[in-house]
Structure formats: C-alpha cells, structure tokens
A and B are shown apart, each in its own frame.
Chain A
Amino acid sequence: MRQPPERSARRLTLTRAQVDRFAAASGDVNPLHVDPAFGRRSAFGGCIAHGALVTLAMLGTLEDAQLAWISSLRASFASAVAPDAELSVLARSGSRGRTELVLSGRGKQLARVLAGSEGDPAPPASAAALAGPPGELAPMRTRAAERTAGELHAGLAVSGAYGTGEELVELADTLGAGALPAPLREGLAWASYVVGMELPGRDALFTGVTLGAGGGGPAARQVVALREHDPRTGQLVLDGTLLDADGRARASARFECFLLAKPHAGPPAAILAPPAGAVRGEVVVVGGSRGFGAALVLELLAAGYGAHVVYAASTQSARALAEAAGPCRERLTLHELDARDPVALDALAERLRSRGAPLAGLILNAATPPLPMGVSASAAAELSAYVADNVTLTAAPLGALGALVDADAGWVVFTSSPAFATPPRDWPQYAAAKGAIEGLAHWLATTSPRLRTVLLRPPKMATDFTNTPSGRLGAAPADEIARWTVAQLAGGELGPGLAILEPGAAVSEREPVGAAT
C-alpha cells in the first residue's frame, strides 16, 4: 500500500463572483447563496458558497492526471464556507489509490472530499424508475421550492429537465479542475441544484454527496427520490440519477442534507388586545426586529411600555413586527440604523432627548450570528474581529443612549448568554464576546451604582440565530423567555446595582428535542 507523505497545504479563497457564476452555471440560485438580505437573516449571517463549488475548488488543487482518473466522489460539508474567507486544502493518498482532501478555515475542518476510481466509494443504486418520455419534462426551476417537513415522506420522487450552463466548464478551468471528467463536473452542479432548488429547496442545508460517474452525453434530465427523513433533526437522504438526452446514466448520486426551519417567520405571537394596565415609560431595544429581540418588544408593548426599536437591515422583519404589534402599533417606533454608527446613534439620542421624559429602559440585544469555529493561531484574528464587532454593537448604543435612562428607576439590560459560563464547543468567539459584554455590564453597575444594570442570560432559543440542524435541538421558545424577562423588568423588584437574570431555569422546557417537525 502506498502511503506518500502529506503534501503541504494549498491556500484557497472563493470569491463572491465565483459563487454567482456557479449559481448561474448550476441553476442553484438558492437565496442562501445569492441573496444578501436572505443570507443575513440566516444562522450564517451572510451568503455562503455552494458545497459543490467548494468541492470543485478543492479538487482543483490536484494534478490534472489525478483528476482525469477520478470516477467517484464523496464530499461532506461540515460547516459553512463564506465567500472571500481564507481557506486551506490538504491532500493525502490512501489505500486503493483513493485521495482525501480536507478543507480548513476558521481554525476548523470545513469539508472533506474522497476521490477514487473503480466505483469506490460505490455510487448508490440508481433510482431508475424514470417516468414519462423526454418530451414531457418539467422545466428547471428558477426559484427554489419551499417544501415543508410534512410533505417530505420517503418515496417522494421528483423528475425533470436538468442541464448545466456553458460557464461551468470555464469556472472549473479557473478553479484548476478542468480535467475532472465531465459527468462528475455536471454531477456536482446537479447535486447543488437538486438540494438547493428542488428537494427540499429553499430551506436546505447541503451536507454531503456521494457521486458516481456514468457515461453518455451532456446531462439533460434527472430523477430524484427521497429515501429517508428524520423529523428529529430534519435530516434527509435522497437518491438520484442524472441522464443524457437518450436516457443513458450520466451520473448517480446519494445526497445528504437537512431541512432547516422556515426562516424569519415573523415574531412569535401577535398582540391581540391592548394592555389593560398602566401606561409605562419608553424603552429602546437595540437589535429588536426579529428573534428574541422582537419577542421582547412585543412583551414590552403588551406590558404598557412604549418601544423604540433599533434595527439594521431586517426591513421585512421590522414590518412583520409592526403588524404583530396590532393595537399597540402607535407605541412602537422603528429606527433603521446601524448600531455601530456613532453619528446615527447620536442623532437618535438627540431625538429622544427632545421628547423630555427619560427612558424607562435600554435593552442592548444586538449581536451577529457566530459561525462554528475553532481556536487556532491563524483563526485568532477572525475570533477577535467577532468579539470587537459585538462589543461595538453593545458599547456604541450604551454610550449614545445610556445617559437618557432614568437615573433613579431605569434599567439597562445586557443580553448575554449561558455560553459565558458553559461555552458551546463550536463558538469560542461567542463565548469570548459574551464575556466582554458581561465585563461591560459590571463596569456600568460599578460606575453608575444607582442604575439597575441587568445581565440577562437567556438559554438557547429557537430563532434564526440558531437555525441549524444542531442549533434547534433543545432550544427554548423565545416568546416564553421574553415574557418572563419583561415580567421581571416591569415587576419593580429590581434594586440599584447589578442583577443577573437567568430565565432558562425559571421557564419550564416544554419542547425537549426536534423543533423541525
């Protein structure tokens, strides 16, 4: 058995333009890859590269002679790859002439590709059963299907036309993968299209594919069948065959993916009746247009507060929040501004000051979603950039608006997390950021001892932030956590100085596992 030494790592970066070109070439125009507003609302905080494009780029680090000889591939995508991120690929050879490629970034393994020949890894059995003559093919989708968990039952089959655009050959060349056999090149593009556009479509997370090369001419149609659906995690396994115009198998594949929960479905529950109790003062919620922030805003309104919501670019979510406010709509004011921007914050402070009355409260809830990462020397700069950005999202509004809070009865809430005490393995930057934010809260409590400074440590909640296969496991409902939190703030029992609120222990966990049902 030959066991050559590992080669040195090759550097790799995928550009935004390459992602767009792959979308056009493959037909996978899933908004997670091409729509920045959609990407921003995802758990990844931005658009991510297609797994199939990542695979092509990884293969592009091999020699042409090696590429030409590959007849089967197995790719698994462990974590998201952002455009322009610095990546490295390590290749090594294994038994029976197989090659393993490992992609690393953010101090962590992001993807793995096994390439081989002679049907190893074996291409899965063809889904075969091809219905209908080519003349009746459904056209390719130009918008991703939006399937729900309920319709994804084993045996569900989809078929239709499929072909790749001319730019695929050119893109593969650019990436150094021009020598990869055409059935595999087309098969990768097809895999991306199937998962991202068809089955399950828009809310897919593509995690792996086993692809075997067939023969024939250029791809013309496809058939895919759902083999398994695990409702606990949303995991799906699909089998498919790509065919040429004469019905010869071009490639066969087994796909692994997840159905994520529907994103930004709006605030958890609308207010139906105006609050019966006293009208209270005004509160500013920074990062309040969606998820837990939006749930807090609705609870504040329902408790009789007026709410000023500072949000960045979630216009759609802000509109949904206004609708959910119902009869409390006139006590809700939306401020679209970047909570890092001192000029915009000072202008807001000036407007609020001119209204006369001090603020009853300030909630510092803005944060960016963390991507899974590891701690390595090369990832340290990325880690500190995350911490700096999230500290700014808290410190800038505190600096601009803190002085407006009622010095004798007002409160300032810092949204932290149990992650500070029990850090999630994959989120070291998040744990560090929350540590910094807790430090800031201690500073405020010490330097402004008459204020009510609140450190809020909500448990993991089911929001866009945690909309990943593992993120939703054991997540608590955001509206219940928000209701409990606002009851504490409005209850009048907070004294001057620092209070730590941990709603996770107080709110009973009703949904133990599996939110994606």
Chain B
Amino acid sequence: MTTDADFEREFQDVLEDVLGWELQLTDDDGPSTVGGWDSLAQIRLVHELETRFEVRLPDGALLEEQSVGSLKRLVRDSAPAA
C-alpha cells in the first residue's frame, strides 16, 4: 500500500525529473507558472507518472491543460495499467 506521504514523494520526484530541480510546486501550478512545462513536457510527465504509478491515464491528460493538482487527481482516480 502507498501512503499519502509516499505518493507525494513519488509525485514530486516525477515533477523534478521532468521539469527541474527544487521546484516547490503547489497543486495550482501548471504551464502558466512553470517555465519548462510545455506540451512536450506534459506528454513526458504523463508517461513518467503512468510508469511510476503503474496506471493508465485518460487521453485528456495528454491533450488538455493540466495542473499539478489535476494530474494528482487523475493518477489517484486511474485504474491500474493492464
């Protein structure tokens, strides 16, 4: 079982991995507040989240503008990958 703390740590890891070091991101942060968060970065974020959390996110995760909070919700609500 993953605790909330584990989840947050893992999630933060993915954000740092894709977007940059020592980012203190809140759930409201997204493309408009994070310099490196462009459309390609979002695809890489989704892919990395799917790999680390072993889930499959909906296509909207790739296509629509997301925030840290919306991605967290998508990961929590997603079914495990087949």
Write the residues of chain A forming the contact surface with B, with a CB cutoff of 8 angstroms.
76, 78-79, 94, 100, 102, 108-109, 112, 114, 207-208, 228, 230, 232-233, 235, 256, 372, 374, 424-426, 468-471, 473-474, 512-514
- Give every chain B residue within 8 A of A513 (Cβ-Cβ): 59, 62-63
Q: A473-B62, A474-B63, A513-B63 are in contact. Are A233 and B43 (CB under 8 A)?
A: yes
- Give every chain A residue within 8 A of B36 (Cβ-Cβ): 78, 109, 112
Q: Are B59 and A425 in contact (CB under 8 A)?
A: no
Nearest B residue to A426 by beta-carbon distance?
Answer: B38
- Give every chain B residue within 8 A of A109 (Cβ-Cβ): 35-36
Q: Are B63 and A112 in contact (CB under 8 A)?
A: no
B38's partner among A79, A114, A228 (CB-CB below 8 A) is A79
Q: Are A469 and B40 in contact (CB under 8 A)?
A: yes
A100's partner among B21, B43, B44 (CB-CB below 8 A) is B21
Nearest A residue to B39 by beta-carbon distance?
Answer: A470
- Give every chain B residue within 8 A of A473 (Cβ-Cβ): 59, 62-63
- In the assembled complex, the Cα of A199 lies from the Cα of B32 at a distance in Å of 34
For the complex formed, measure the closest distance between the CB of A228 and the CB atoms of chain B, giving whole angstroms: 8
- Chain A interface mostly helix, strand, loop or mixed? loop
- In the assembled complex, the Cα of A425 lies from the Cα of B41 at a distance in Å of 13
Q: Are A230 and B40 in contact (CB under 8 A)?
A: no
Q: Are B47 and A470 in contact (CB under 8 A)?
A: no
A78's partner among B31, B32, B38, B62 (CB-CB below 8 A) is B38
- In the assembled complex, the Cα of A136 lies from the Cα of B42 at a distance in Å of 42
A207's partner among B20, B44, B51 (CB-CB below 8 A) is B44
- In the assembled complex, the Cα of A233 lies from the Cα of B47 at a distance in Å of 10
B39's partner among A207, A230, A425 (CB-CB below 8 A) is A425
For the complex formed, measure the closest distance between the CB of B20 and the CB atoms of chain A, giving whole angstroms: 7
- Give every chain A residue within 8 A of B47 (Cβ-Cβ): 230, 233, 235
Q: Are A470 and B44 in contact (CB under 8 A)?
A: no
- In the assembled complex, the Cα of A208 lies from the Cα of B59 at a distance in Å of 23
For the complex formed, measure the closest distance between the CB of B25 and the CB atoms of chain A, giving whole angstroms: 15
| CB 8 Å contact bits of B25-61 with A (1 = contact, 0 = none) | 0000001100110111111100100010000000100
23 example contacts (A-B, Cβ-Cβ < 8 A) are as follows: A94-B21, A100-B21, A108-B38, A112-B20, A207-B40, A207-B44, A230-B47, A233-B43, A233-B47, A256-B44, A372-B38, A372-B39, A372-B40, A425-B31, A425-B39, A469-B40, A470-B42, A470-B43, A471-B39, A473-B62, A512-B59, A513-B59, A514-B59
- Give every chain B residue within 8 A of A470 (Cβ-Cβ): 39-40, 42-43, 62
Q: Does B4 contact A (CB under 8 A)?
A: no
Nearest 7 interchain pairs by C-beta = A470-B39, A513-B59, A109-B36, A473-B63, A426-B38, A109-B35, A233-B43
B40's partner among A79, A94, A374 (CB-CB below 8 A) is A79
- Give every chain B residue within 8 A of A79 (Cβ-Cβ): 38, 40
- In the assembled complex, the Cα of A459 lies from the Cα of B17 at a distance in Å of 33
- Give every chain A residue within 8 A of B62 (Cβ-Cβ): 232-233, 470, 473, 513
Besides the contacts A233-B47, A425-B31, A470-B39, what 10 more A-B pairs have beta carbons closer than 8 Å?
A102-B20, A109-B36, A207-B44, A232-B59, A235-B43, A426-B38, A468-B40, A474-B63, A512-B59, A514-B59
- In the assembled complex, the Cα of A235 lies from the Cα of B43 at a distance in Å of 9
For the complex formed, measure the closest distance between the CB of A205 and the CB atoms of chain B, giving whole angstroms: 9
Nearest A residue to B32 by beta-carbon distance?
Answer: A425
Nearest B residue to A102 by beta-carbon distance?
Answer: B20
- In the assembled complex, the Cα of A95 lies from the Cα of B40 at a distance in Å of 27
Nearest B residue to A109 by beta-carbon distance?
Answer: B36
For the complex formed, measure the closest distance between the CB of B58 and the CB atoms of chain A, giving whole angstroms: 10
Q: Does B22 contact A (CB under 8 A)?
A: yes
- In the assembled complex, the Cα of A514 lies from the Cα of B58 at a distance in Å of 12
- Give every chain A residue within 8 A of B21 (Cβ-Cβ): 94, 100, 114
